[in-house]
Amino acid sequence: MGPVTKDPRKTWETIGDEDPYCGTGGPTRVVPRTGKFAQPDLGLLDSIEPNTTLIDVGCGYGRNSIPIAEAKKAFVVACDISLSMSRSVRERHLPFVLCDLRKLPFRRSSFDYLVCSVVLIHLRRIEIDEAIAELKRVGKKCLIVMPNPLGRASLFGFIPFLVGPLLWIRKGWNSKLSVFSDIPCPRGYVVNFYLPWMFRGMLESHFESVHPTYAKKDREPHPYMTDRVLYICNKPPAR
């Protein structure tokens, strides 16, 4: 594995330019250039009122931005750190802003909803608390989707609990690399594994209430057993 680049914009620009799958893997293997998208997080559509304003932070190729704009008739602003990753969003003529989610160029409570799906896992652990605070600042209600490392897609925890120790061994027993955090990937970004109840605790330190639910139309008895968890985060009412 090569070293993790210090410039995330350059990393995702390279992925968008050179990888036809735009960094996707597993069962999705989407090819945005041919119009093959992964299924959106359908739980978002149940949580968003029509004719509202919404920002999709880390929109990527528009897996959620495009269907939300079409199904909910919402005014959707898409933003991402990479122009190449967001090519298909801009081709649909959705309003687009090139920016870093850690410093969003919007005023406080600018949007009725803020969507951030499978993005925070790519931030370093020391950055995520500040990033959550920035999401809270911009959105009146934040809808955050995170992968569940104990779900089916990760073989019920087998993959993350195998990858972490293997990288730890490779780096050396005396390495400062944590077993389940800031795991370097071959494409140049990092991945963090968050147990769903632990991530909920992180969100509860910022929001008045946090409600975990299904990101997709799962039949599992509890959201914590699904592949992705949607956290509906509410701020205190404005004074």
pLDDT at residue 18 in the model: 79
Region 58-67: mean pLDDT is 92
Residue 35: give the domain boundaries.
Answer: 8-234
C-alpha–C-alpha distance, residues 201 and 221, integer Å: 21
Residue 217: CATH number of its domain: 3.40.50.150
pLDDT at residue 3 in the model: 43
In the structure, what pLDDT confidence band is assigned to residue 158 with cuts at 50, 70 and 90? confident
Structure tokens at 119: 């993005």
Structure tokens at 198: 């632990």
pLDDT at residue 28 in the model: 64
Looking at the domain assignment, is residue 145 inside a domain?
A: yes
- Domain count within the chain: 1
Region 113-140: mean pLDDT is 96
In the structure, what pLDDT confidence band is assigned to residue 5 with cuts at 50, 70 and 90? very low
Asked if residue 223 has pLDDT above 60, the reply is yes
Looking at the domain assignment, is residue 89 inside a domain?
A: yes
Looking at the domain assignment, is residue 2 inside a domain?
A: no
Asked if residue 1 has pLDDT above 50, the reply is no
Separation in Å, CA 177 to CA 27, 132, 147, 227 = 29, 23, 21, 26
pLDDT in tens, 198-217: 999 999 999 999 999 999 88
Looking at the domain assignment, is residue 1 inside a domain?
A: no
Select the more confidently predicted residue: 78 or 192: 78
Q: In what order do the strands lie in the sheet with 53-57?
A: 96-98, 75-80, 53-57, 111-117, 139-147, 228-234, 209-214
Region 102-131: mean pLDDT is 96
Looking at the domain assignment, is residue 36 inside a domain?
A: yes
Q: For residue 182, how many C-alpha atoms fall within 13 Å in the half-sphere facing its CB?
A: 14
Looking at the domain assignment, is residue 3 inside a domain?
A: no
Asked if residue 154 has pLDDT above 80, the reply is no
Looking at the domain assignment, is residue 83 inside a domain?
A: yes
Model-level pTM? Answer: 0.88
Looking at the domain assignment, is residue 239 inside a domain?
A: no
pLDDT in tens, 86-109: 988 998 899 999 999 999 999 999
pLDDT at residue 220 in the model: 82
